[in-house]
């Protein structure tokens, strides 16, 4: 088999058997197709996750708001083997606020869509808690169809946008093996 140095389709030496050519093409198809399938699947999953976050973030911009009160704000220490800290400790913010709609009390725990499940350094987590002292008044934005879905800062999360960008990147990388394996026309000989 000759090397493909000028971007043309894979060419075989004239004495290469048909069976060998077929085996090499089948191998390229399985490896390249499998690689493309993994990248498409991973990219699709990231697009799904990021798209859901972005859609909810866009919707949250139009949600009505209600006055709320912080009833709990604290820092919880977590242990994780994958941290930047030498001691392996990370921290999460626990926030709880209540608001009333039509005489019914509702509770929320989300500050923003970007914060959900985020693990932070101790100073950062304590800084967030200091900005929401217990008893302070805040504004809760809530989903009118399901007031249990609420947050204090509406908008599109950066993590959702990043997931979409990475997902698109994986899809583009998944196209590369398929593009490389596409049939190509031979240049006309003069």
At 145-158, the pLDDT tens digits run 999 899 999 999 89
Higher pLDDT, 115 or 105: 105
- 139, 65 contact by CB (below 8 A): yes
Alpha helices per DSSP H over 2-121: 18-60
Q: How far apart are the C-alpha atoms of 133 and 41, rounded to whole Å? A: 44
Largest CA distance in the chain: 86
Query: Is 136's pLDDT higher than 90?
Result: yes
pLDDT tens digits for 72-113?
A: 999 988 876 555 555 668 888 899 999 999 899 999 999 988
* Phi (first) and psi of residue 106, to 5 degrees: -125, 155
Whether 118 shows a pLDDT value over 50: the answer reads yes
Looking at the DSSP assignment, which residues form a beta bridge with residue 79? 89
pLDDT band (50, 70, 90) for residue 39:
confident
Q: List the Cα angle 12/17/19 in 5-degree steps.
A: 105
Q: What is the pTM of this model?
A: 0.67
* pLDDT reported for residue 2: 46
> Could you tell me how far CA 180 lies from the centroid of its own chain?
28
DSSP state at residue 120: B
Section 129-135 average pLDDT: 92
């Amino acid at each position: 088999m000759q090397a493909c140095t000028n971007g043309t389709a894979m060419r075989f030496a004239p004495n290469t058997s048909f069976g060998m050519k077929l085996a090499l093409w089948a191998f390229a198809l399985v490896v390249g197709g499998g690689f493309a399938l993994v990248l498409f699947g991973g990219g699709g999953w990231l697009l799904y996750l990021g798209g859901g976050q972005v859609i909810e973030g866009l919707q949250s911009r139009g949600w009505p708001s209600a006055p709320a009160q912080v009833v709990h704000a604290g820092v919880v220490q977590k242990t994780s083997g994958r941290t930047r800290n030498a001691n392996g400790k990370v921290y999460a913010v626990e926030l709880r606020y209540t608001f009333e709609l039509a005489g019914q009390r509702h509770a929320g725990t989300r500050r923003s869509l970007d914060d959900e499940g985020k693990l932070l350094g101790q100073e950062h987590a304590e800084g967030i808690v200091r900005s929401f002292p217990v008893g302070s008044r805040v504004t809760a934005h809530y989903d009118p169809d399901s007031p249990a879905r609420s947050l204090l800062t509406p908008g599109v999360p950066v993590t959702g946008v990043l997931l979409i960008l990475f997902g698109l990147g994986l899809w583009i990388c998944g196209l590369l093996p398929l593009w490389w394996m596409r049939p190509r026309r031979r240049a006309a000989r003069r």
